[in-house]
Amino acid sequence: METYKFQVIMNMKIAAIAATLLLAVVIPAQSALAEGDATAGKELAYTCLGCHGIEGYRNAYPSYRVPKLGGQKAGYLVIALKGYRDGTRAHPTMEAQATSLSDQEIEDIAAYLASIGGDTVARGGSDAPGIAAATACAACHGDNGISVNALWPTLAGQHESYLERALGQYRDGTRGDVVMSAQAALIAVEDVALLARYFASLEGLETTKPD
Ligand code: HEC
Ligand code: HEC
């Protein structure tokens, strides 16, 4: 019996060490790629603003606001766009938008969009009274909803209906991610809407308006 318990604890430790090693290997390898040309990206992103640059624009069926991209983390934008392009993240319109983009164009667009974030994003957010349910998110999405890592998305200021939609998708498995799916499964059902409203209320991401 004791031996069995010891074995279980050892297995858990090994799993934890393996996860840490995996992160250590994956993170520098991916962030090294994120070298885009923001000027080229601005040209490329012009058509995107037909949806992302319009205040109040919604996805139809189901109805939710088109996500804000201004000030979003470059590495995360690259992962999202490649996800749509390569079919690991499903959304008909975005798949169509991303299919024709090369890796370099994706890097350029990401560099441009990430550069739009204002002072609040640069400062790491503005202090706001937190909510208990959000403390579990801070390790990755930051104390103020401004992500601490280029590969993880900023949530601060994102549209409430989009955040709620994304959390629902991780929970029902229509959107998958090794890290976030596990996190989303731990959220109490009554906290999903609360978390979406909270992160949406923080200062951060911006709607990218065409100029
Ligand atoms: C016809 C409207 C439309 C156009 C045009 C469009 N998008 Fe989108 N985009 C959406 C919608 C709707 C979503 C949310 C999809 C989902 O739920 O996964 C989205 C999601 C995204 C996301 C994921 C955001 C996140 O927080 O995960 C990125 C990145 C993105 N779009 C970038 C672009 C880029 C770059 C272009 C131009 C090449 C573009 N979009 C053009 C409607 C559009
Ligand atoms: C261990 C790190 C980690 C923790 C803790 C974590 N997340 Fe995430 N989260 C991620 C990663 C990584 C992604 C991007 C996954 C992907 O590409 O789909 C993500 C994505 C998201 C998205 C989608 C954003 C978008 O723009 O589409 C939402 C919403 C979200 N997280 C909410 C939360 C909430 C709420 C909590 C706390 C209850 C939380 N996360 C805790 C790592 C984390």
Question: Structure tokens of 33?
Answer: 């790629």
CA-CA distance, 87 to 78, in Å (whole number)?
14
- Mean pLDDT over 177-181 rounds to 95
Q: What is the pTM of this model?
A: 0.88
- pLDDT band of residue 117 (cuts 50, 70, 90) is confident
Q: If you measure from the C-alpha of residue 180 to the centroid of ligand 2, how many angstroms do you get, rounded to a whole number?
A: 5
Question: In the beta sheet, which residues pair with residue 64?
Answer: 59
Q: If you measure from the C-alpha of residue 153 to the centroid of ligand 2, how many angstroms do you get, rounded to a whole number?
A: 7
Q: Measuring CA to CA, how many Å separate 206 from each of 59, 106, 107, 159? A: 18, 19, 19, 10
With 60 as the cut, is the pLDDT of residue 119 above it?
yes
With 90 as the cut, is the pLDDT of residue 136 above it?
yes
